[in-house]
Structure 1
Amino acid sequence: MRRSVGQILGRTGIRIPLILWSIAVLYPIFWMFLGSFKSNAEIYRNPWGWPETFSFANFSQAWTNYNIDISVFNSLIVTAIGAVLTLVLAIPTAYAIERINFRGSKMLFTLYISAMMIPMVLGWIPLFFLLNDLNLLDNVFGLAIVYAVSQLPFSIFVLTSFMSTIPKSLEESASIDGLSPYGILFKIVTPLSMSGIITVTIMNCIQFWNEYFMALIFLQTKTNYTLALAIDYISSEAQYTNAWGTLFASLVIAIVPVIILYAIFQRRIAKGMTEGAIKG
């Protein structure tokens, strides 16, 4: 009896702070959702209450007047290209480091891991001049390349931990059967590492979709703005035009895809990160 009471008290002591923290985090998001359906007058009159009528006027205004549609398209392009390019570079590199014994392989892996510890802000100025010399400044494709390179260390770190547990006997059998090294990589190693690949892809997509500072530095014209920059522009405009409902609507447009993506793949992400930690 004492043990059961102690367990109940212990669980309660853990759950209460978690519940309070969840409320503190979720309530501002819930308030933002409600504000996106209110008019500006209603936001000032009743900021914490339910909207009198659920109107989509703010979403329409954000989509047309503030060119959120273009920014969403730019973010989709940058996220898709960045995620695919990261996999194209990370998968062969991780396989080479993990499976091919060559001089300096361990040093190369250490170099990639060390790059995770270097703040990205240190490379922004050199990257700015490099993109300018390559005529990729103010270009969503140039930004996608920067995103892909910035996530390479993390992606390689996760993928090598997955590839390290694949039995070498499978690769040796495939090699005896006449499969080339590239065939072994793409037909055997890649499918068996799919949990890690999916985890890396989802984490990178969320990172690219929400990224702000590099987009602010490398993009200059409004037609090339990603969603984060468009929201920042609306936020600055809202101070003078009172377009708070439009700002809330644009925030909802930005956050809903991330919530849906994480809700669908949360188990896959948790499983992939846990397996990667154990296998590493």
Structure 2
Amino acid sequence: MSRKGTVKRQTTGHIMSRVGIRLPLILWSLAVLYPIIWMIIGSFKSNAEIYANPWGIPESFNFQNFIDAWQNYNIGVSLFNSLIVTVLGSLLTLVLAVPTAYALERMVFRGSTLLFNLYISAMMIPMVLGWIPLFFLLMNFNMLDNIYGLTVVYAVSQLPFSIFVLTTFMSSIPKELEESAAIDGMSPYGVLLKIITPLATSGIITVTIMNAIQFWNEYFMALIFLQSRENYTLGLAIDFISNEAEYTNAWGTLFASLTIAMIPVIILYAIFQRRISKGMTEGAIKG
């Protein structure tokens, strides 16, 4: 067989292999993106256009649906509430998880292995089992129907996952760096803040973004622990609009609200996508 024929067969096989890998990914991407694009287009349509031509392009891009969602359904207040619980919840999780992960990874004491296993086993417990006890606990502390009480619940619920990821990153940091700092007179808190934390930046960013997306999209705990409309997060506000849309035909307003809720997550993930991929890859390799 000639060299040219062999090269041609290899080239054809390589192309077929690439097509076989990429075609399912392309089809899956289209299946995911199409409903999102349809929703965004629908947010600029009037109710008449939605019923007359639900799959078509709007005749004119009208922002009235966004105005109605902002003014009539207080989606701006819910957006602000979600922003509070997401930012404060992510920060509180880091404040609790970083020193805990460092202590469990670096400091050997009686029961440290048992404590670490308890944290990890907590990841296997369905959160739904704690909703009723948490409800009465928050009620006893007068934190029911309070976004700050919900923030604490969010932060604690993500502690096992955050500690697990952070201990994986911290385990790869050479202990000699800490020993040198200790010889120079640096305290354990100084070692944590000035040496460990900067070196574990990839893990911290990964954990923060994953937690932020979880808090932003969470619905069920907010449904249980919040009752007042002025305290609604975006998930509850959109659910309220969805129920209203069945009787008022406010489908365009619903699509606009969904678009408002989706945009921050897309922007956040687009900005830190490489950081997330890098952090998860490094964590898998180091683990």
State if a TM-score over 0.5 links the two structures: yes
Between the aligned partners of 1:22 and 1:186, the Cα distance in structure 2 is 41
Alpha-carbon deviation of 1:13?
1.4
Alpha-carbon deviation of 1:29?
0.3
Alpha-carbon deviation of 1:15?
1.3
In the TM superposition, what whole-angstrom CA distance separates every residue of 1:72-93 from its partner, at most 9, and x where no partner exists? 0100010011000000000000
* Matched residue, 1:86: 93
* Matched residue, 1:173: 180
Superposed counterparts of 1:28-67, under 5 Å = 28-67=35-74
Q: Which amino acid aligns with 1:85?
A: L
Between the aligned partners of 1:252 and 1:272, the Cα distance in structure 2 is 28
Superposed counterparts of 1:157-172, under 5 Å = 157-172=164-179
Between the aligned partners of 2:203 and 2:23, the Cα distance in structure 1 is 34
Alpha-carbon deviation of 1:3?
2.5
Q: Which amino acid aligns with 1:229?
A: L
- Asked whether 1:199 is paired with 2:206, we answer yes
Q: Secondary structure at the match of 1:249?
A: helix
Q: Secondary structure at the match of 1:52?
A: coil
Alpha-carbon deviation of 1:7?
2.0
* Matched residue, 1:131: 138
Alpha-carbon deviation of 1:255?
0.3
- Name segments (4+ residues, structure 1) moved above 2 Å: 1-4
Q: CA RMSD in A?
A: 0.7
* Matched residue, 1:146: 153
Alpha-carbon deviation of 1:236?
0.2
- Asked whether 1:116 is paired with 2:84, we answer no
Between the aligned partners of 2:180 and 2:264, the Cα distance in structure 1 is 43
Q: What TM-score do you get using the length of structure 2 for normalisation?
A: 0.96
* Matched residue, 1:226: 233
Superposed counterparts of 1:98-109, under 5 Å = 98-109=105-116
* Matched residue, 1:278: 285
- Asked whether 1:253 is paired with 2:260, we answer yes
Between the aligned partners of 1:46 and 1:94, the Cα distance in structure 2 is 55
Alpha-carbon deviation of 1:64?
0.7
Q: Which amino acid aligns with 1:252?
A: T
Q: Which amino acid aligns with 2:95?
A: V
In the TM superposition, what whole-angstrom CA distance separates every residue of 1:237-260 from its partner, at most 9, and x where no partner exists? 000000000000000000000001
Aligned length: 280
Residue ranges of structure 2 left out of the alignment (5+ in a row): 1-7
Between the aligned partners of 2:140 and 2:14, the Cα distance in structure 1 is 64
Q: Which amino acid aligns with 1:232?
A: D
Between the aligned partners of 2:82 and 2:248, the Cα distance in structure 1 is 26
Q: Which amino acid aligns with 1:275?
A: E
Alpha-carbon deviation of 1:2?
2.2
Alpha-carbon deviation of 1:108?
1.1
Higher-Rg structure is 2
Q: Secondary structure at the match of 2:144?
A: coil
Q: Secondary structure at the match of 2:45?
A: coil
